[in-house]
Structure 1
Amino acid sequence: MDKASVKSLLENPSQKFSLPVEGMTCASCVARVEKAIGKVEGVKNVAVNFATEKASFEMDPSKADLSKISQIVEDAGYKLKLPEKTTEAEEEKEDNQFYKALTKDLLFALILTLPVFLISMSMEFSWFHRLFPASVNHEKLMDYINKVLLILTTPIVFISGKRFFTIFWNNLKHFAADMNSLVAIGTGTAYLYSLVATLFPEVIASSGRTPHVYYDSTAVIITLILTGRWLENRAKQKTGSAIKKLLELKPKTAFVVRNNEEVKLKIDELALKDIVIVRPGEKIPADGIITDGLSTVDESMITGEAIPVEKSRGQKVIGGTINKNGSFRFEITALGRQSILGQIIKYVEEAQGSKAPIQKLADKIASVFVPAVVAIALLTFIAWIIFGGAGAFNLALINFVAVLIIACPCALGLATPTAIMVGTGLGAGNGILIKNGESLEHAHKINVIVLDKTGTITEGKPSVTDILSDGITEEELLIIASSVESRSEHPLAQAVVEFAKSKGLRPEDPESFKNLPGHGIQAVTGGRAVLIGNEKLMQNYALKPDKFAADFDRLSSEGKTIIFVAIDGSLKGLLAIEDPIKSTSEEAIKKLKSMNIKVVMLTGDNRKTAAAIARRIGVDEFSAEILPEDKAREVAKYQENGSLVSMVGDGINDAPALAQSDVGIAMGSGTDVAIETADITLLKSDLVGVAGSILLSRRTIKTIRQNLFWAFIYNVLGIPLAALGLLNPMFAALAMSFSSVSVVTNSLRLRSFKL
């Protein structure tokens, strides 16, 4: 982390939280919880997700505390679950309890609603009345049947429908309203009117109206809405299946060497530096480094790479991956949230809890939706009373209830987050970690991809292929070059040192050393003044590489990087270094170009080397001899032309360009700084993942737009139809219940998308 980042961290010691919120029952709740948390001083970046039922925010602990935030949320009518009071297991248990209670209420309502519906419908047909003798008094029969319907409907309202009225009452105490308020007002009005019509018909008759009952509407509406909630709950559980699958990768136990004995421990009993024994077919319990043995490991669940990876002593293993056919021991280096699997789970949780910009309009509408619908329903009632003609009151009441019931802010609230949950989960399952909903949305607009060469297009494993000298032996040249390069951490320098060691040569420590960024090194070793670097460095010191011109052209045209060596003011030789191009780079670039995306390569190499590599991989545009600090300016240059740019890199010197770009994509094999700066991380370190990220973004945004379209159209058409009396309340309830289900189901279709 650079000095600016450290300074920023010290000046802004914010802590991030993502906590469950109880009591959110529809999309209109989101705005109220966000507003409540956002009022607290020291809290910023508040985002409440209706699909995950969690609130994410940053808090400055010097200005605010969780207990204060929790109290404010409670004052708003909801409950914020604090971290020490909740675990993943408890959350899952509570979800299961909610699901069981919902199932119980639904089954109870179904059993009683069926006879209510059948009796009510039968009363509309003449054959029903012919079932009774002519001597039976019709009015008394109707009175008797209405009382039976009252007895059957009352438990539906006060047992199965209790949740709607309880929430309505709590909302009323906080001067708030949500979808439950609409259901409670609508069904409550129909039930109370029917109750009066049954027990006190003379009250209604005295006003000149025929006492009608609406028990069937009340019972069916409650049952259908509970059915919709049940289906919605089932579907929402599936949208979060990605995190469950990741959690399932953790084994429950592990075999550890303690006091020279093999003991079986639970995962939460493991400690750093423990020596773990892994046998064939077992899951690796934590991150670590192999100390003994060899095997192949299936890392597909983490990286998406299908081919098992060979592992031996000194190599890293990842927790959650599966050992194949060998046995080995390894020392634990990371556990829990600090492990790679823990970081992936954290990434996915944060992404699924975040909001995409496209959701803002839906949230604004949802926040004023319920009061607006209540106002429309009242206007509908008044209009029908005035202009309804004969039977105006009954028509006004029916249409009032229909307007309340048809309206559904939940579909609006679920349209975006459910698609983001499935999309980010699908990405994680394919080795693509997306930081947040904003990154996912922006990625679909990308039309320029800027690729760093080393470690992105190439393997990032350079090696010396050629050595040429003049007036000095190759061995002397190599000793001097490796001695100077031994003080550098540059990948090309390390390649020279490794090549010297492979020849049995021992580099010496230089007396002086000066790094010349973008050019090379100036040093003194063995009493000799040495310059090592590119053609530009030689030119700066008036050294013309004419004697190596033909070799320079030949090696550069092969895509190799050339390092010149000058000793005591005289050019003495060159080293050619090749970094193999990844086998999938050409295929990935071809795919990106087929998606109408311009692909640009940045490299510090000379133009001839850059041109050779560009031709080989199919890149039409490149910038050569780019200094690390110039990369961000190159990105900005394309942005100034109106392009939306994604930078793909893996090194520390890529971090500014990643931050400058509209969507930064980091290779998982890269540095922590690059990964932290990036919006998307590719665990597989493969350019194919870049195309996959953009395709995933395009499909997710397409799904969100479909969801929002149907959610808006449903309400735009449904409410006027209900107000005009063209929609029976029972059909309104059916439509409302399945509007949310259809949105969630459409989001789930993303799971079958092939990247």
Structure 2
Amino acid sequence: MSPADAQYDIGGMSCSFCAESIRKAYERTEGVEEVNVSLAHEEVRVRYDSGALGEVELKDTLRDLGYTIRDPDKQKRFEEQQREVEEAARRLTLAGAAALVTVGLMLFMILVRGTFESGALWMDLATLSLAVGTMFGPGRYIAAKAYNSLRRRIFNQHVLLEAGAFAGLIGGVLGLFVFPGFPTVHFFAVSVFITAYHILSEYTSLIVRTRASRAVQGLLDLRPDTARRVRGGEESGAPRADSDAEEVEVTELETGDRVRVKPGESIPVDGTVLDGESAVDESVATGESVPVDKAPGDEVIGGSVNDTGTLLVEVTATGDDAFLTRVTRQIEEARAMKPGVVQLADRVLKYFVPGVLTVAVASFLFWVLVPAVWSGGPFGTGPNVQRGAFAALAVLVLGYPCALGMATPLALVRGGGIAANRGILMRSGDAFQIFRDVDTVVLDKTGTVTKGEPAVEEVVAVECAASDVIRRAAAAEAFSEHPLADAVLDCAAERGVEFPDPDEFDSVTGKGVRAGVGEERILVGKPEWVAEEGADTTAARGDIDRLRGRGYTVVCVAVNGSVVGLVAIGDPVKDDAAETVERMKRVGIAPVMITGDNQRTADAVAEAVGIDRVMADVLPDEKRDEIRRLQDDGERVAMVGDGINDAPALTQADIGIAIGAGTDIAIESADIVLMGDRLGGAVDAYEIGKSSYRKTKQNLIAAFSFNGIGVAAATTGLVHPVFAMIAMVLSVSVVLANSFAGQLLRGERPTTDFAAESNVPPVDTDA
């Protein structure tokens, strides 16, 4: 036995019933050991015995079911989605045109000719052509899906639709050539209408999902992942001319290669610094907001950002050993371990579809057999084939779950539009269904609860005014490129403190700066280094310990050997963080903060925003384990994060929420994306999810009422096919009205435009 894993991006999925069909098909394939299908991320992960099964067979299974396998490249995948939308629009145009022509013929027959039956061969043949053209033209893919599902003993909405469509076609043909009394035009019309309605339903789901993907795509960086590889084995200290470097794909790098990373660029690989000094922002990997100073011999992590100087880095890990690859593998594992969610509508359909098929067959057999066996009874004398055909066809038409199938997508359109107007992107129906049950929200600290950027939090004056401390610190840091220097300069600008440029400047990597300003010799840096340089820090020791106890980075300012003040730099909490935590508590959600920072820093931030439960000192690859531990304890967990290190946890959580200003991989791993960095959107999303799930249930009750009552009435054989179609149209209209009437009455436009602003008031949960 040779276990192997395969993962594919799938095109053509429209609901979790599709996911269920794919899962069943693989489970019934010999050699498949485990299968997980994610509707939210449109992918399948299969564990199989490579000795008994190959990837060709795995891919053929998907294609046989009528689904496509998308290119793993992000840009190509996006282009394939665009083509899917264009193809779906073309199908809808053709099917819609056929349906309109059919309606026109029926109206002509009734209003102009004054008859309920065609009475004209040309009209029968015209509607026959429309039925065949619709079923085997734009609707051909549905027939293929139904056939391949039946071949694997899978009963889904495609099977039910084709049963109704073929019943209409067969009934019309029988009326045309065998039973003159059959309503030929109406039978053919049924085939046209239910095919067109199904195409409309799938197009609605596709457009919602694709527009969500477009919004995500707008947040992602689509540039190729490249690195600047140094040719000729440049040694430490050698010239750094661009002419000795070449742009290559990151995948081409090998261990031992040397790459140059300029200020502001992402470090493409894990490696060791050979030459150069810089501050590196590793928050995406470690969660620490304060940049780390790097010098020759220090290790750097792929995905972190080089802030200041140019670095020459030797590659130490590639492929499966690289940090980003390990994160990707953790995400895949998390998805595989995360149970799929079957939508409420699909739980109904799971039993409804085989039930309708059974009732249709039973109705036909009843009116054919019972009158023949019970001659002279209340059901007539002799087999009543026409009534049996009417009953079977009406059952299939009224049982076709068009309104049921549209109930969830329409609620998703409605909720998605409301969310978009509040700067929230709900990427899947799962987000609407599950969020209402969430009782715990785990909040990453850096970049989620906090702003993720160093800023001056407090200034302590020892021998002068606070403004003088800032003026001297800003003057010394004026020529520095360190991010902490930027925090000092920003503070000076905010307070309106003017400062001169230094006459002399010297930066000591990882410690601080020396500067000469007129007669003053200024030191700005770590207290320990300032003390090593001869300044007495005894008087400031109490304040240093106090500020560090609150989790701040303390910068000591000394002038001519005397400490004049301290500058406390930290990661300030977001303006709406405390309010958001309070809102979570009000709706019954327990907020938990998780961070790689030390306990002291974490407790200080948690206290500032009102969070009682804190997980500190959590390594990047441990966040997912902590989420799983909460789930094992019976909690339904939502995770809010923004960094690469949050991505596996976002995937593992029941609901993953990414800050839109965060990293690409976090955004791609999430079920919900908050455009911008407003944390309050997480609670807005919860309220929208609850409201939309209520609307989904209302839609399903309305749709199921029509279907259930209609099927029962149809078994009598007295429901004419055209009236069955009218009832089906009515059920869809009721679902549409329930979904959007309230918005229209208030003058709101239903929208799926996800390019929305984020600074908007909270959602009205009574909407």
Aligned match for 2:44, one of 40, 55, 60: 55
| SS of residue matched to 1:124 | helix
Determine whether 1:405 maps to 2:400: yes
Q: What is the deviation of 1:584?
A: 1.2
Distance 1:610 1:139 in 2: 81
Determine whether 1:729 maps to 2:715: no
Distance 1:270 1:309 in 2: 29
Q: Tell me which amino acid in the other structure corresponds to 1:46.
A: V
Distance 1:457 1:120 in 2: 64
Do 2:360 and 2:391's aligned partners in 1 also have CA atoms closer than 8 Å? Answer: no
Determine whether 1:204 maps to 2:179: yes
Deviations 1:494-544 (Å, cap 9, x if unpaired)?
Answer: 99x9643443379xxxxxxxxxxxxxxxxxxxxxxxxxxxxxxxxxxxxxx
| SS of residue matched to 2:532 | coil
Q: How does 1:219-618 map to 2 (within 5 A)?
A: 219-241=192-214, 244-245=217-218, 248-251=221-224, 257-259=230-232, 261=243, 265=247, 267=249, 271=253, 273-276=257-260, 286=268, 331=313, 359=342, 364-378=347-361, 392=387, 396=391, 399-407=394-402, 410-411=405-406, 441=435, 444-446=438-440, 499-504=527-532, 560=549, 582-584=571-573, 588-596=577-585, 617=608
Identity of matched residues, %:
14
| SS of residue matched to 2:581 | helix
Q: Tell me which amino acid in the other structure corresponds to 1:180.
A: H
Distance 2:543 2:51 in 1: 65
Q: What is the deviation of 1:322?
A: 12
RMSD over aligned Cα, in angstroms? Answer: 7.0
Aligned match for 1:67, one of 31, 51, 54: 54
Q: Tell me which amino acid in the other structure corresponds to 1:166.
A: A
TM-score under structure 2 length normalisation: 0.56
Change (3 A) 1:694 1:41: farther
Aligned match for 2:140, one of 138, 144, 162: 162
Determine whether 1:705 maps to 2:693: yes
Q: What is the deviation of 1:188?
A: 1.3
Query: Who is 1:716 aligned against?
Result: 704
Do 2:209 and 2:427's aligned partners in 1 also have CA atoms closer than 8 Å? Answer: no
Distance 1:426 1:344 in 2: 33
Larger Cα-atom Rg:
1
TM-score under structure 1 length normalisation: 0.57
Query: Who is 2:517 aligned against?
Result: none
| SS of residue matched to 1:46 | strand
Q: Tell me which amino acid in the other structure corresponds to 2:700.
A: F
| SS of residue matched to 2:155 | coil
Query: Who is 2:502 aligned against?
Result: none
Q: What is the deviation of 1:21?
A: 5.1
Q: What is the deviation of 1:374?
A: 1.5
Deviations 1:29-84 (Å, cap 9, x if unpaired)?
Answer: 43343245457899776322345542135x487x877628945983995489899x
| SS of residue matched to 2:45 | strand
Deviations 1:360-413 (Å, cap 9, x if unpaired)?
Answer: 766544433321221244456678999999995675355224224345665588
Query: Who is 2:187 aligned against?
Result: 214
Determine whether 1:117 maps to 2:103: yes
Do 1:279 and 1:327's aligned partners in 2 also have CA atoms closer than 8 Å? Answer: yes
Q: Tell me which amino acid in the other structure corresponds to 1:405.
A: Y
| SS of residue matched to 1:359 | coil
Q: Tell me which amino acid in the other structure corresponds to 1:500.
A: E
Distance 1:558 1:691 in 2: 26
Q: Tell me which amino acid in the other structure corresponds to 2:439.
A: K
Distance 2:705 2:99 in 1: 28
Q: What is the deviation of 1:160?
A: 2.8
Q: Tell me which amino acid in the other structure corresponds to 2:158.
A: N
Change (3 A) 1:250 1:700: farther
Q: How does 1:178-193 map to 2 (within 5 A)?
A: 178-193=156-171
Deviations 1:148-189 (Å, cap 9, x if unpaired)?
Answer: 333444323332332233333333333332222222111211
Q: Tell me which amino acid in the other structure corresponds to 1:275.
A: V
| SS of residue matched to 2:7 | strand
Q: Tell me which amino acid in the other structure corresponds to 2:102.
A: V
Do 1:294 and 1:328's aligned partners in 2 also have CA atoms closer than 8 Å? Answer: yes
Distance 1:500 1:731 in 2: 81
Q: What is the deviation of 1:123?
A: 0.8
Distance 2:155 2:757 in 1: 38
Structure 2 spans left out of the alignment, 5+ residues: 233-240, 372-377, 463-509, 512-524, 552-565, 664-675, 741-748, 760-767
Distance 1:79 1:129 in 2: 44
Do 1:451 and 1:648's aligned partners in 2 also have CA atoms closer than 8 Å? Answer: no
Distance 2:420 2:32 in 1: 28
Do 1:256 and 1:277's aligned partners in 2 also have CA atoms closer than 8 Å? Answer: no
Q: Tell me which amino acid in the other structure corresponds to 1:258.
A: R
Change (3 A) 1:653 1:73: closer
Deviations 1:450-495 (Å, cap 9, x if unpaired)?
Answer: 999xx9899999999999xxxxxxxxxxxxxxxxxxxxxxxxxx99
Change (3 A) 1:100 1:657: closer
| SS of residue matched to 2:137 | helix
Q: What is the deviation of 1:668?
A: 7.1
Distance 2:529 2:728 in 1: 79
Deviations 1:80-137 (Å, cap 9, x if unpaired)?
Answer: 9899x96556655655555555444444444544433312211101x4469xxxxxxx
**Paired residue total:** 607
Do 1:194 and 1:212's aligned partners in 2 also have CA atoms closer than 8 Å? Answer: yes
Query: Who is 1:536 aligned against?
Result: none
Aligned match for 1:31, one of 20, 39, 50: 20
